[in-house]
Amino acid sequence: MKKSLLIISIILALTVKYADAQKNLSRNVIIFANGDTLSSPKIIGSKALTNQDGIVYIDKQNSMQKLTACQVREYYLDNEYFHSETIKNDNICRLVTYEVGGYVSFGLSYTSNGDMNFYVKKNDDVTSLEKYRFDLKSFFSTYLVDFDQFYATYKVRLSYDFKTLAQMISAYNAYKYPEKYVFEHVKNKEKGRIGIIASAGMTTTNLKGFYEDDLKGGSFSIGLDRESRYSRCFAIHMPLTYNVSTVKSSNTSIHWSTVNFEPYISLRTIPKKKINFEIGAGIGILYSLNSYLDGSSIPGSDQDKVTLTKAGFGPNFSFIANLDRKLKAQLMFAQYQAKSASIKVGSPEDTKVKALTNNFRLLISYYF
């Protein structure tokens, strides 16, 4: 029994040691253009931050070293295998990882800010698709002599995004040589990103209850948005903004100073043109920092400021125009309900008012 346990322990120890060695190898290997190999270097940044034009690593002397894409033959990072490729007709080197192999291979590179650029490889020639992003069908009709016949059967609109291109090229390989290749289902590789938001708009507030009035005025907001894109058409946004608005009537006014968390789901058209559109809907949360009703002009009130409830909830709806890969213009409508504290007047009645506020904003977002 003891011998059996000893043997099992030795096997487990060797397995763990071998697995760790394999893990280190798969994560950290650089092969230079001259054939030299560097094992387990510390490559700075994740693959999303690795520049397609080169890499930066820490050597054994703890010094920072930079390599251009032309100085690298290939390297491993985060279990992905990057090749140095000379791009046809551009006379530049790019570090490319391939996701689909076959008669035509499909690869991508990561820019320094995490964007993806896409490539096709045939007969050892690598072509960048960046310049054809809005005319992909015409490019492939020239690049592949039987593409039009294939596309008549495939019938999926082309767009410059990872999943569409990867699946189309995999389907083409299976169509071209059905005895060699099998269609591959690939997962979306779009990443989450952070954007800066600024907006201006109009706010209206309707008061009901002890005192009734309709007020309107301008609004301003600034904040951040976290975009998580789960497919080429579906995304979840989580904007967090600081909002200021003053609404007035001939009788009174309300000052709104709030933090708004307004998550929403968006659906967009397949990105085929320079501008494509999204619609969004969600539920928002309003938290009041310093919001109050001017009570000085309310009949019978002896208060200058009547505070409003700290939290409010309500729906939001958006229409979004994607102007390019980083810049968006968005029309958002958000609605919230809030209540005031009791207004101090000489009356036994409920002297609270309900405030229904509608906010229309034009937002400009820039994503990194």
pLDDT, tens digit, 9 for 90 and up, residues 334-358? 999 988 877 766 555 657 788 899 9
Most confident of 171-180, 317-326, 332-341: 171-180
pLDDT value, residue 346:
56
pLDDT value, residue 7:
45
pLDDT over 70, % of the chain: 86
Residue with tokens 């208060």: 303
Could you say which DSSP state residue 149 is in? H
pLDDT value, residue 163:
86
Torsion of CA 162, 114, 72, 77, to 10 degrees: -80
Angle (deg, nearest 10), helices 162-176 and 147-154: 110
- Rounded Cα distance between 348 and 194, Å, is 52
- Rounded Cα distance between 123 and 108, Å, is 18
Per-residue pLDDT tens digits for 166-175: 999 999 999 9
Determine contact, residues 93/69, Cβ cutoff 8 Å: yes
Q: Higher confidence at residue 275 or residue 105?
A: 105
Provide CATH code, domain 193-367.
2.40.160.20
Which residue type is seen at 218? G
pLDDT value, residue 348:
54
Per-residue pLDDT tens digits for 33-49: 998 988 878 888 766 66
**Residue 301 pLDDT > 70, yes or no?**
no
The tokens for 334 are 């958000």
Determine contact, residues 269/232, Cβ cutoff 8 Å: no
Taking the domains of the chain in order of start, what are their residue ranges?
23-176, 193-367
The tokens for 265 are 């789901």
Write out the H or E segment, with its range, that includes residue 167.
helix 162-176
**Residue 359 pLDDT > 90, yes or no?**
yes
How many of the other CB atoms lie within 10 Å of CB of 218? 12
Which residue type is seen at 16? V
Nearest in space to 359 (alpha carbons), one of 329, 338, 335: 335
pLDDT value, residue 134:
82
Which residue type is seen at 326? K
**Residue 13 pLDDT > 60, yes or no?**
no
Q: Is residue 156 very low, low, confident or very high in pLDDT (cuts 50, 70, 90)?
A: confident
Per-residue pLDDT tens digits for 179-191: 999 888 887 777 7
pLDDT value, residue 18:
39
Write out the H or E segment, with its range, that includes residue 2.
helix 2-27
pLDDT over 90, % of the chain: 50
pLDDT value, residue 188:
74
Determine contact, residues 31/37, Cβ cutoff 8 Å: yes
How many of the other CB atoms lie within 10 Å of CB of 360? 14
Q: Is residue 11 very low, low, confident or very high in pLDDT (cuts 50, 70, 90)?
A: very low
**Residue 274 pLDDT > 80, yes or no?**
no
